[in-house]
Amino acid sequence: MVALIDPEMCINCGKCYMTCNDTGYQAITFDPETHLPKVLDDSCTGCTLCYSVCPIIECIRMVPRKDLYQPKRGIELGSDWHPRLPDVQLRRKQAEGTNALSCQDGHLTVE
Ligand code: SF4
Ligand code: SF4
């Protein structure tokens, strides 16, 4: 999952930006002119902290991510590491027929 912010509902309080920065993900940018936050999908872990602190109900929603999340831990993850999707997302992608996916021993491969 990733966070999706509705700019029409946002009151520019900055809480989402502060909480994501403080927890170490830095997945939200804050426009210095419009004061609108924006989620960087590649960096968002789907932790839901921004969703939890936003004072406007449904301004932030958690939605399925389009691509596989690749953790950035600052260390090499090893040659045998592969991104994985929960079963429900794997089944949805297979139903959509978007990419050829295979899953062996819980490891997902995008072909
Ligand atoms: S879900 Fe977590 S990582 Fe993603 S934008 Fe919100 S606080 Fe940042
Ligand atoms: S916490 Fe909600 S209202 Fe506040 S800046 Fe973020 S998205 Fe906008």
Q: For 53-102, write each residue's pLDDT tens digit.
A: 999 999 999 998 887 777 777 777 778 777 666 666 667 777 777 654 55
Q: Which ligand is nearest to the CA of 63?
A: 1
Q: Is the CB of residue 45 below 6 angstroms from any atom belonging to ligand 1?
A: yes
CA of 40 to the centre of ligand 2 (A): 15
Neighbours of 23 (CB within 10 A): 13
- pTM of the complete model: 0.73
Q: Is the CB of residue 17 below 6 angstroms from any atom belonging to ligand 1?
A: no
CA of 72 to the centre of ligand 2 (A): 25
